[in-house]
Amino acid sequence: MLGNRIGGVRQVEVDASDAGQRLDNLLLRELKGVPRSHVYRLLRRGEVRVNGKRAKPELRLAAGDRVRIPPVRQEESASGQSEPGERMAAGVEARVVYEDDRLIVVDKPSGLAVHGGSGLAFGVIEALRASRPDVRLELAHRLDRDTSGLLLVAKGGVALRHLHALLREGAVAKRYLALVKGRWRLGRKRLDLPLATSHRQGGERVVRVHVDGKPSVSVFEPLERFGDLATLMQVDLETGRTHQIRVHAAYSGHPVAGDDKYGEREFNQRLREAGLRRLFLHATRLEFQWPDTGRRCELTSPLPADLEGVLSRLR
């Protein structure tokens, strides 16, 4: 990445290592300390230009593109810090379960966001960047804040492009464990239900099954039943939409335990009595093959102790 000194308007030329990156991700990296909301405001206003033209956040950049970045004040975050603290960075580093020259895998705990924004100063990616300032790190995919489990972080543009291509093609096997309401009687069930995102008053994002939504496929399979109260499910994703498992489960009449947005209040209360203090959804397995080397990557994360404790009490 080539560019002039931070201060006034910058003209940044995209090099080969950044080709394929989304425009918003490049801006968030280049404008460290600037709130995400302000970065997206600059894009909406057309103050950011690519090759002299307005551009959308999701634009994929090509080598040689010239990005105009307007002058902005390097504001401090809501916490009064411009970088994650050492304690947070160390905590995220302790959750790294795999690393090689192109990939970091974090076993993310529930309650920790994958990135800053929406009132949160920092997340997993900011903490990793703070502890590894000389490495370009980018999220390959995302997990909801309340979902625990395996999260892929790419090192450099080439690895990121490979992972994004695999995810788009459905070539990354993604498996979750979820506890859902009621006795599941459908056996192994493939739910092919399109999902659309809308916004309620106040800006809250809500996903729903809708004929005009994006194709979304989840495969549910029961593992263990707890009478008529709940069923432990294995869920394999063929697509990766926002809130996909939670919405598909709720639509089928079996909402995920602990889901305050799409779930059922009375069921959640009964599970709280069994010790559940969070969403019962865990990303337990990821498997894929690097397209350039043929090397397979198989990663697993066991169910966290707090969720195992809930199952033990239900048994």
Q: Which residue has the tokens 């593992």?
A: 223
Helices 124-131 and 86-93, packing angle to 10 deg: 100
Q: Is 22 helix (H, G, I), strand (E, B) or coil?
A: strand
197: left (phi over 0), alpha (psi -120 to 50) or beta: beta
Q: How far apart are CA 190 and CA 241, in angstroms?
A: 15
Helices 36-44 and 23-30, packing angle to 10 deg: 130
Q: Which residue has the tokens 């302790």?
A: 94
8 Å CB contact between 267 and 255: yes
Residue 33: how many CB atoms within 10 A of its CB? 13
Angle at 226 between CA 225 and CA 229, to 5 degrees: 115
8 Å CB contact between 220 and 193: no
Q: Which residue has the tokens 């990445």?
A: 1
Cβ within 8 Å of residue 94, ≥6 positions away: none
Catalytic residue, candidates 18, 107, 144, 259: 144
Q: Is 127 helix (H, G, I), strand (E, B) or coil?
A: helix
- Asked if 144 is an active-site residue, the reply is yes
How many C-alpha atoms does 2 have within 13 Å on its Cβ side? 8
Q: Which residue has the tokens 């004040």?
A: 73
8 Å CB contact between 137 and 104: yes
Active site residues: 144
